[in-house]
């Protein structure tokens, strides 16, 4: 029955997302000002919404199998990717823990992302599981053998190709080397905006940056909202950064909030590139804001979460994918959870970015699995785009990832750190960078066509009867 399929999918989705975003409740309670019962209610509401996508996957799959028989199970990778793609964009999107990210640490397989992106990896994982299901219902032994042979051949081919791609190492031999420094200040979230701690926090970043500069860093990256003040609104802080840049001769990429003084006032989560002469060369404003973190959607409906609505800063979204001029090598940055949007990072690379960076403040997540989830999702952007990725996180995990997804340097959680390493400015484009999420669009089209055919077949059968 359709209802049974929907409920089974909903249950699967509830387990999936409860196990992966359980930390939302703690975040809402500790930093959103909600009581535990209300924080749990908000978390369950989010889990229930996300579980709708696996539920619709199950519902569509049931209809296809009903119309076309067990062979329709082999169409389910397209259905799964279509629902993931919908989850990534509907209501601003939440593309967290997509199925393809399970392969982020399986580097031989993960190289496929340079061709088809994370949605292609999702399709591959779904195909393996769909084939296992098909083995239980295939009408003949020959059909079972054919399905297994197809999937095994695909996995072996992907693994061999990925291994050869990594061993070639062309992307770590070419390009202009750049020495980068990453500063991890390790500022607890409840101290971040404490006026009494502001001087100590800022001095910590200056001291750690000096260490990075002494080790030869030409680009020094601070995390998201790292300054305990708005960099444009504090003359003494701005002057201290200017002097450090002049003394060190380095570029500084600094996360700080920004005010645009018009009516009404607009606030932005921004990243400033400061040149060796101390001038601000470019500013990038975050384009994908975090719901319930930087703005609250549906404020009127969520009246029961009033403390959360009051505590969340009401930021405005940036409108341009601004490149940052690091000499002759344009670079880009994604702020916080923007890095889980593959197409946004791709836009920077198509615009000319030769190194991708991401700055974040993951202190919100505590010691949950979220910082590791966030880091692993970011590493896949390096493979997709064929670029080095530099990640600065307030409390970790900070790191440098090469274009094959290999972690060159990595910090621990909740410790001050300075990471210094070499990256290369690269200009070539991967197939994914050229074609984008073609697999996802194809999956949506294939799902729509198959579903229409199944509906049409049902109507024809009803007419014949």
In a domain, 391, yes or no: yes
Quick one: pLDDT at residue 460?
56
Quick one: pLDDT at residue 188?
87
In a domain, 138, yes or no: yes
Q: Are residues 366 and 266 in the same domain?
A: yes
Q: From the candidates 169, 192, 294, 336, give the one annotated as an active-site residue.
A: 336
Quick one: pLDDT at residue 196?
86
Looking from the CA of 306 toward its CB, the CA atoms found within 13 Å total 2
In a domain, 112, yes or no: yes
Q: Are residues 69 and 154 in the same domain?
A: yes
Domain of residue 28 covers 2-170+437-464
Q: Are residues 48 and 124 in the same domain?
A: yes
Quick one: pLDDT at residue 306?
45
Q: Are residues 413 and 264 in the same domain?
A: yes
In a domain, 271, yes or no: yes
In a domain, 94, yes or no: yes
Q: Does 15 participate in catalysis according to the annotation?
A: no
Which parts of the chain register pLDDT below 50?
303-312, 462-465
Q: Are residues 377 and 399 in the same domain?
A: yes
Q: Does 336 participate in catalysis according to the annotation?
A: yes
Quick one: pLDDT at residue 298?
54
CATH of the domain at 304: 3.60.110.10
Q: Does 310 participate in catalysis according to the annotation?
A: no
In a domain, 431, yes or no: no
Q: From the candidates 84, 224, 294, 376, give the one annotated as an active-site residue.
A: 224
In this structure, are residues 338 and 288 in contact, taking their beta carbons and an 8 Å threshold? yes
Q: Are residues 60 and 186 in the same domain?
A: no
Quick one: pLDDT at residue 2?
86
Quick one: pLDDT at residue 310?
41
Tally of domains in the chain: 2
Quick one: pLDDT at residue 456?
79
Q: What is the pLDDT of residues 166-225, one digit of tens each?
A: 999 999 999 999 999 999 999 988 787 788 899 999 999 999 999 999 999 999 999 999
In a domain, 159, yes or no: yes
Q: From the candidates 286, 294, 338, 376, give the one annotated as an active-site residue.
A: 286
Q: What is the pLDDT of residues 350-409, one digit of tens each?
A: 999 999 999 999 998 889 999 999 999 999 999 999 999 999 999 999 999 999 999 999
Q: Are residues 181 and 133 in the same domain?
A: no
In a domain, 432, yes or no: no
Q: Are residues 135 and 234 in the same domain?
A: no
Does this model's pTM top 0.75? yes
Q: Are residues 331 and 392 in the same domain?
A: yes
Q: Are residues 325 and 364 in the same domain?
A: yes
Residue with tokens 């003040």: 229
Q: Are residues 309 and 455 in the same domain?
A: no
Q: Are residues 459 and 422 in the same domain?
A: no
Beta-carbon contacts of 259 under 8 Å, excluding residues fewer than 6 positions away, are 230, 232, 233, 265, 266, 267, 268
């Amino acid at each position: 029955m359709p209802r049974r399929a929907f409920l089974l999918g909903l249950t699967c989705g509830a387990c999936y997302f409860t196990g992966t975003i359980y930390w939302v409740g703690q975040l809402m309670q500790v930093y959103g000002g909600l009581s535990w019962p209300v924080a749990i209610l908000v978390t369950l509401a989010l889990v229930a919404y996300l579980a709708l996508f696996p539920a619709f996957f199950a519902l569509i799959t049931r209809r296809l199998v009903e119309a076309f028989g067990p062979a329709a199970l082999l169409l389910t990778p397209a259905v799964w990717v279509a629902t993931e793609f919908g989850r990534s964009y509907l209501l601003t999107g939440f593309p967290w823990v997509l199925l393809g990210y399970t392969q982020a640490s399986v580097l031989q397989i993960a190289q496929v992302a340079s061709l088809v992106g994370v949605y292609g990896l999702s399709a591959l994982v779904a195909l393996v599981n769909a084939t296992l299901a098909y083995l239980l219902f295939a009408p003949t032994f020959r059909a079972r053998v054919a399905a297994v042979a197809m999937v095994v051949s695909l996995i072996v081919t992907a693994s061999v190709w990925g291994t050869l791609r990594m061993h070639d190492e062309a992307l770590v031999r070419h390009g202009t080397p750049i020495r980068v420094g990453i500063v991890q200040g390790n500022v607890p979230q409840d101290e971040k905006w404490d006026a009494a701690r502001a001087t100590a926090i800022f001095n910590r970043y200056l001291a750690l940056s000096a260490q990075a500069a002494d080790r030869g860093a030409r680009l020094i990256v601070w995390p998201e909202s790292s300054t305990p003040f708005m960099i444009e609104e504090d003359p003494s802080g701005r002057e201290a950064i200017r002097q450090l840049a002049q003394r060190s001769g380095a570029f500084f990429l600094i996360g700080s909030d920004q005010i645009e003084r018009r009516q009404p006032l607009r606030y932005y989560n921004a990243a400033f590139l400061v040149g060796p002469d101390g001038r601000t060369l470019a500013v990038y404003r975050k384009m994908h804001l975090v719901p319930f973190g930087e703005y609250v959607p549906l404020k009127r409906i969520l009246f029961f979460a009033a403390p959360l609505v009051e505590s969340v800063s009401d930021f405005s979204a940036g409108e341009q994918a601004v490149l940052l001029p690091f000499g002759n090598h344009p670079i880009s940055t994604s702020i916080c959870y923007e890095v889980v949007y593959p197409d946004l990072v791709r836009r920077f690379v198509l615009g000319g970015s030769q190194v991708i960076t991401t700055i974040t403040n993951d202190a919100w997540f505590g010691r949950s699995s979220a910082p590791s989830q966030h880091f692993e999702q970011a590493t896949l952007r390096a493979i997709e785009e064929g670029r080095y990725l530099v990640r600065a996180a307030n409390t970790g995990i900070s790191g440098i990832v090469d274009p094959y997804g290999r972690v060159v340097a990595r910090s621990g959680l909740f410790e001050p750190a300075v990471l210094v390493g070499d990256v290369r400015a690269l200009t070539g484009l991967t197939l994914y960078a050229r074609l984008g999420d073609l697999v996802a669009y194809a999956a949506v089209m294939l799902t729509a066509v198959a579903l229409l055919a199944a509906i049409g077949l049902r109507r024809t059968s009803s007419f014949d009867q």
